């Protein structure tokens, strides 16, 4: 059970902040997960949602690359809610089953395509070492260019923030959704 009440109804938000609730609900079709907690600070929720809308819906990263970055973040943070939401989206975006399994089980990236391996290595190094090696950074620049690497890094950071929110407030994934191994 979440540590704070989840704000999922418009009436649970003070009247002066209902526009923020409405914007989040409109862009995501509902308010749930991290936003049900972030709405305890409506301004934070609104600003977070604004950044997230760009990262999720407008980024230069392909849907498959974005979702691979997100599920890698979910795995590195052991965030069950984020995993349950994005593991199916990764598959829908075209991330191969074998790649999902490598991420889920923290497997070796040697079996991945070089393109996928760069994303997973970049995320793992950033989260585990708090740095990215020159070799991995150069490979990412070669694949994604300056803007792509910037957006990959921002995507990882954004979903890390959401994972921290979900984990700190103990927001559990809905029943019947994919679970982390």
Residue 160 belongs to some domain of the structure: yes
Whether residues 134 and 52 share a domain: the answer is no
Residue 3 belongs to some domain of the structure: no
Q: How many domains are there within the chain?
A: 2
Whether residues 148 and 82 share a domain: the answer is yes
What long-range pairs does 46-55 form, CB within 8 A, spacing at least 24?
Answer: 46/17, 46/20, 48/161, 48/162, 49/20, 49/23, 49/24, 51/154, 51/158, 52/158, 52/162, 53/27, 55/151, 55/154, 55/155, 55/158
Region 48-71: what's the mean pLDDT? 97
Reading the block at residue 51, the tokens are 């950044």
**pLDDT above 90 for 146:** yes
pLDDT of residue 1: 86
**pLDDT above 90 for 101:** yes
Whether residues 47 and 73 share a domain: the answer is no
Helices 134-168/63-76 angle, 10° precision:
60
Task: Give the whole-number percent of the chain exceeding pLDDT 70.
Answer: 100
Whether residues 145 and 81 share a domain: the answer is yes
Residue 112 belongs to some domain of the structure: yes
User: Which residue range(s) make up the domain with 125?
Assistant: 63-168
Residue 49 belongs to some domain of the structure: yes
Whether residues 109 and 126 share a domain: the answer is yes
pLDDT of residue 66: 98
Whether residues 83 and 162 share a domain: the answer is yes
Whether residues 119 and 141 share a domain: the answer is yes
Whether residues 68 and 144 share a domain: the answer is yes
Q: Tell the burial category of 115 from Cβ atoms under 10 Å away from its Cβ (0-12, 13-18, 19+).
A: middle
Reading the block at residue 39, the tokens are 């709405």
86 — pLDDT class (breaks 50, 70, 90): very high
**pLDDT above 90 for 41:** yes
Whether residues 69 and 147 share a domain: the answer is yes
**pLDDT above 90 for 4:** yes
């Amino acid at each position: 059970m979440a540590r704070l009440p989840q704000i999922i109804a418009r009436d649970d938000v003070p009247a002066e902040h209902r526009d923020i609730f409405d914007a989040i609900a409109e862009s995501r079709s509902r308010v749930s997960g991290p936003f049900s907690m972030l709405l305890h600070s409506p301004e934070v929720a609104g600003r977070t949602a604004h950044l997230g809308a760009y990262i999720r819906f407008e980024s230069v990263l392909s849907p498959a690359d974005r979702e691979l970055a997100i599920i890698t973040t979910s795995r590195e943070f052991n965030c069950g809610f984020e995993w349950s939401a994005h593991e199916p989206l990764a598959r829908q975006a075209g991330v191969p089953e074998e790649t999902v399994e490598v991420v889920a089980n923290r497997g070796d990236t040697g079996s991945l395509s070089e393109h996928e391996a760069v994303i997973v290595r970049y995320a793992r190094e950033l989260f585990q070492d708090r740095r990215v090696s020159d070799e991995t950074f150069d490979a990412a620049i070669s694949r994604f260019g300056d803007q792509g690497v910037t957006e990959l890094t921002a995507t990882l950071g954004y979903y890390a923030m959401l994972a921290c929110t979900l984990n700190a407030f103990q927001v559990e994934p809905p029943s019947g959704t994919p679970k982390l191994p």
